[in-house]
Structure 1
């Protein structure tokens, strides 16, 4: 076992506060923006880009956690990386098809409304 990268107790507290609290709040805000903008068909690139970014951050956290686990780091070091990574990757990754569908529905509504106006 290598020497711990950080003090496990202190690391868990700070990592949980910053990544869990801060990252979770950002994901929540991003989800609210998605809920407001997607029915209107606005902000597609920004919303999808953000979701991809959060999913990629999750995958990087998973990779870091697995690396720490394989290097023999204590539970308090590898577990926060894996837990946050799985939550970020699964939640945001699973919402990407939903977001695409919402934007497609908004586009279909726009086209239908335009065809009614034109006649």
Structure 2
């Protein structure tokens, strides 16, 4: 086994606070904004960009967790990376197509309303 990357207890506390608390809060706020803005067709680039960013961060966390696991790091080091990475990647990755569909529906409603007003 290689040398420990971090003290597992201290790392768990800080990682849980920063990534779990902070990242989870930001992801939740992005989801709330998505629920408000996507039916209106607003903020498409910001919302989809944010979701894609969280998806990429999740994949990077999973990769880091796998490297830690295969390097023989203790459970307290690799598990937080894998857990938060899978949550970020799966939740955001699964919602990207749904959000795109919401924006397409909003655009179709806008086009239909415009055609009713004009014609």
Superposed pair shares fold, TM > 0.5: yes
**TM alignment of 1:75-86, pairs within 5 A:** 75-86=75-86
- Deviations along 1:21-40, one digit per CA (max 9) or x if unpaired, are 00000000000110111111
Q: Structure 2: any 5+ residue segments left out of the alignment? A: none
3-state secondary structure, aligned to 2:89: helix
For residue 113 of structure 2, what is the aligned residue in structure 1? Answer: 113
The alpha-carbon deviation at position 80 of structure 1 amounts to: 0.3
For residue 35 of structure 2, what is the aligned residue in structure 1? Answer: 35
Quote the Cα distance in structure 2 between the aligned partners of 1:38 and 1:65. 33
Quote the Cα distance in structure 2 between the aligned partners of 1:80 and 1:24. 13
The alpha-carbon deviation at position 3 of structure 1 amounts to: 1.3
Quote the Cα distance in structure 2 between the aligned partners of 1:12 and 1:4. 13
TM-score (norm 2): 0.99
For residue 100 of structure 1, what is the aligned residue in structure 2? Answer: 100
For residue 72 of structure 1, what is the aligned residue in structure 2? Answer: 72
TM-score (norm 1): 0.99
Q: Structure 1: any 5+ residue segments left out of the alignment? A: none
The alpha-carbon deviation at position 115 of structure 1 amounts to: 0.6
Count, aligned residues: 119
RMSD: 0.5
Quote the Cα distance in structure 1 between the aligned partners of 2:70 and 2:41. 45
